[in-house]
Chain A
Amino acid sequence: DGGITQSPKYLFRKEGQNVTLSCEQNLNHDAMYWYRQDPGQGLRLIYYSQIVNDFQKGDIAEGYSVSREKKESFPLTVTSAQKNPTAFYLCASSITADTDTQYFGPGTRLTVL
């Protein structure tokens, strides 16, 4: 069954710790994206990757890092430099970066204590 998965669903970390959120897709999509969602803010793009071994900053990349070593995986690291990391994080993929339809994962809710 094809799709995009994120794990874990809920994540708790202490302030000052880095944390990595997982995103995997078996849709054979070239492009992958990370969004942050806060109440009343909609979806804000953190990083995106058009193809393996390539990624670009989105609108709110500060305090985050990504890697794209495999086509199916696009992990996001929330570093201690991110001043307000508590949020709902959504990963998405599309066939190519030019394709309009993005398929979203179920999200990871990160709470920093």
Chain B
Amino acid sequence: GQQLNQSPQSMFIQEGEDVSMNCTSSSIFNTWLWYKQEPGEGPVLLIALYKAGELTSNGRLTAQFGITRKDSFLNISASIPSDVGIYFCAGRKGDDKIIFGKGTRLHILP
């Protein structure tokens, strides 16, 4: 099946730093979603994007729907220890099923 390319695969950052991650596809999507998964739990939806160029915030998290409709970005400002986890992007084109990226694992160094 088609895959989304999510990068980086993992990140090690200091508490307080900002974080950026992205997701790209060779196809155009009309929906982009960002989920967070904590260890041993199911993913939880953070942000949903439905329009090219859309910029949406959820607290310290901001996500953007790329203008080309082939990418999306997630930024986390002033990271804190509870931001640790795996962040998944997901996308849908047309009436197809939603597909997920492989995730970005975020580690925060003390």
Stretch at the interface among B12-20, B59-67, B68-76, B93-101: B93-101
Given known contacts A92-B42, A106-B42, A100 and B31 CB-to-CB distance under 8 angstroms: yes
- Chain B contact-residue range equals 20 to 34
A42 contacts B42, CB within 8 Å?
Answer: no
A104 contacts B95, CB within 8 Å?
Answer: no
Q: Which residues of A contact B3 (CB under 8 A)?
A: 42
Contact residues of B with A, CB < 8 Å? 1, 3, 6, 9, 31, 33, 35, 40-45, 48, 50, 88, 92, 95, 97-103
B41 contacts A42, CB within 8 Å?
Answer: no
Given known contacts A100-B48, A100-B92, A107 and B98 CB-to-CB distance under 8 angstroms: no
- Chain A contact-residue range equals 20 to 34
CA distance A103 to B35 in the complex (A): 10
Q: Which residues of A contact B31 (CB under 8 A)?
A: 100
